[in-house]
């Protein structure tokens, strides 16, 4: 029975007949030449509730996470609704500030080792890390939207062409003269990131990079050759991790390409299928947001498009894309991933939920959501065809780890579902289920027989049980008919 090309990234083309490959709540992983398959699909991590903030003043039952920051005092600070909360290593949470102003926007945080600074487009506040004393410094700018720390100073932008900085090691002093403008383009600075000890200032149609300078009147000097005519099309899409910057781009030539840094240059990481998906929503993608985290050697960048109700994930380890979703259990609809923020704190990946005031932990050993909703793992294959002749599909088998059933409850008798499409993924056959094997039944085979004929075919497999999912490949036994 011949092996077929099965493991792939998400790539739903402008025409499904070209490619309707989809990888949902699974991500491709290289076996680095050590496995029987060079590439496998691994089920995405599940979530566990670690804190519930619904009883805190200023937090409603529908308040989502607005910001997260793991400070230099080794304390995690989170914002839900109208409350700044610190989540302690022992699992306790303490509210330290009410945030009533502009409470629907994202909150940016940074600290200098002494003070935590918060901005949200309406205010700038400081929190002394040692005793939670709140300060409201006098500043010479309005509506600060983002803050970062670099070179012993805090840096703030407000979506003008200017950026401001604090005094050294002093979050409360902001001189009226401590301001500079972007030099290479007159567009507004919408976002910024720190990478390799340098400041990336991202405009609407350009960016430039600045490094720390000894001149107290100009502590951030322009890096020669760093200016670029690619800007950021969604200010909240910008994130930096693992010495890389990721963002949804925009320029005078167009928009809706995803980039990562390559030195001081940009490198396109989106593909035509993703760009087609993004461009369906045109300028509405400006509300997109991104975040990143590292897990077991993978650096993930997740980009959520609210208008599309979808979340796309890029894995730096493989250079491949997949999708993540949170399922509506009542309507059986895949929505964008409910996670909106991530931070590595206390040796764990902690996440902010955008739907409800819950702090979550992300773990590959958890196979469902924090509230018990299943994480449905779905994969659609490439199109199988041979010279456009009729193919008689005798056997289709997915090489998947079996015997993964749980001791009791849902998942104790796990199953895998298969459908196929003979029109490029426009319509699908009825569902056909087979066992993944009760616990310890490692020789169980996920196999389907007598599957009819077609000139071309796409297979879809799906696992909804809360069990470990690792797909290794597939086999297809077929015979070739006449070319009629």
Q: Are residues 351 and 405 in the same domain?
A: no
Q: Are residues 305 and 392 in the same domain?
A: no
Residue 327 sits in which domain range? 46-371
In angstroms, the CA 451 to CA 478 distance is 10
- Picking from 316, 339, 371, the residue at the C-terminal end of a domain is 371
Q: Are residues 273 and 155 in the same domain?
A: yes
- Picking from 371, 405, 421, the residue at the C-terminal end of a domain is 371
- Picking from 312, 336, 371, the residue at the C-terminal end of a domain is 371
The enclosing domain of 422 has a CATH number of 2.60.120.260
Q: Are residues 14 and 104 in the same domain?
A: no
Q: Are residues 270 and 296 in the same domain?
A: yes
Supply the pLDDT for residue 387.
87
Q: Name residues of the chain where pLDDT drops below 50.
A: 1
Q: Are residues 38 and 165 in the same domain?
A: no
Supply the pLDDT for residue 242.
83
| Phi/psi of residue 381, nearest 5 degrees | -80, 170
Rounded (to 5) percent helix, strand, coil in the chain: 5, 50, 50
Q: Are residues 70 and 192 in the same domain?
A: yes
Q: Are residues 130 and 200 in the same domain?
A: yes
Residue 435: exposure state from Cβ atoms within 10 A (0-12, 13-18, ≥19): middle
Supply the pLDDT for residue 481.
87
**Residues 6+ positions from 73 with CB-CB distance below 8 Å:** 111, 113, 129, 130
- Determine the straight-line distance between the first and last CA of the chain, rounded to whole angstroms: 25
Tell me the CA distances in angstroms from 329 to 9, 196, 307, 431, 467, one per residue in order. 25, 43, 21, 18, 17
Q: What is the pLDDT of residues 90-128, one digit of tens each?
A: 999 999 999 875 666 899 999 999 999 999 999 999 999
Domain count, the chain: 2
Supply the pLDDT for residue 484.
64
In angstroms, the CA 482 to CA 473 distance is 28
Supply the pLDDT for residue 115.
98
Model pTM? 0.96
Contact 341, 352 (CB under 8 A): yes
Supply the pLDDT for residue 101.
56
């Amino acid at each position: 029975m011949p092996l077929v090309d099965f493991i792939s990234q998400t790539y739903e083309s402008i025409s499904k007949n070209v490619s309707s490959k989809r990888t949902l709540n699974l991500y491709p992983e290289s076996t680095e030449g050590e496995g029987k398959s060079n590439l496998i699909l691994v089920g995405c991590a599940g979530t566990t509730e670690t804190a519930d903030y619904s009883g805190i003043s200023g937090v409603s039952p529908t308040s989502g996470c607005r910001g997260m920051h793991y400070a230099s005092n080794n304390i995690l600070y989170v914002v839900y609704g109208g409350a700044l909360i610190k989540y302690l290593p022992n699992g306790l949470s303490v509210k330290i500030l009410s945030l009533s102003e502009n409470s629907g926007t994202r909150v940016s945080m940074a600290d200098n080792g002494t003070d935590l600074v918060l901005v949200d487009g309406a205010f700038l506040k400081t929190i002394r890390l040692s005793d939670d004393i709140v300060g409201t410094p006098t500043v010479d700018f309005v509506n600060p939207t983002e803050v970062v720390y670099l070179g012993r100073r805090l840096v703030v932008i407000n979506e003008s062409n200017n950026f401001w900085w604090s005094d050294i090691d002093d979050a409360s002093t902001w001189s009226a003269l401590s301001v500079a403008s972007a030099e290479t383009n007159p567009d507004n600075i919408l976002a910024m990131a720190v990478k390799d000890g340098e400041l990336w200032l991202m405009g609407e149609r350009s960016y430039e990079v600045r490094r720390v300078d000894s001149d107290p009147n100009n502590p951030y000097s322009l890096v020669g050759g760093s200016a670029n005519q690619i800007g950021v099309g969604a200010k909240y899409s910008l994130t930096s991790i693992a010495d890389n910057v990721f963002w949804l781009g925009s320029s005078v030539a167009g928009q809706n390409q995803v980039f990562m840094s390559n030195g001081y240059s940009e490198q396109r990481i989106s593909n035509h299928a993703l760009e087609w998906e993004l461009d369906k929503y045109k300028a509405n993608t400006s509300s997109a947001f991104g975040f990143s985290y590292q897990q077991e050697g993978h650096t993930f960048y997740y980009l959520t498009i609210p208008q599309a109700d979808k979340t796309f994930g890029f894995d730096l380890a493989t250079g491949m894309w997949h999708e993540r979703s949170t399922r509506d259990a009542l309507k059986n609809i895949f929505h964008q991933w409910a996670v909106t923020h991530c931070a590595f704190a206390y040796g764990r990946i902690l996440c902010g939920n955008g739907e409800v005031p819950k702090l979550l932990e992300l773990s590959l050993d958890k196979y469902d959501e924090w509230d018990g909703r299943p994480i449905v793992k779905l994969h659609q294959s490439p199109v199988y065809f041979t010279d456009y002749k009729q193919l008689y599909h005798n056997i289709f088998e997915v090489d998947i780890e079996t015997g993964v059933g749980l001791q009791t409850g849902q998942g104790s008798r796990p199953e895998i579902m298969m459908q196929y499409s003979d029109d490029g993924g426009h319509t699908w056959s009825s569902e056909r289920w087979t066992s993944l094997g009760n616990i310890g039944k490692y020789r169980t085979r996920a196999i389907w027989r007598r599957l009819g004929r077609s000139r071309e075919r796409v297979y879809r497999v799906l696992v909804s049980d809360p069990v470990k999912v690792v797909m290794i490949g597939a086999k297809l036994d077929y015979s070739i008919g006449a070319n009629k």
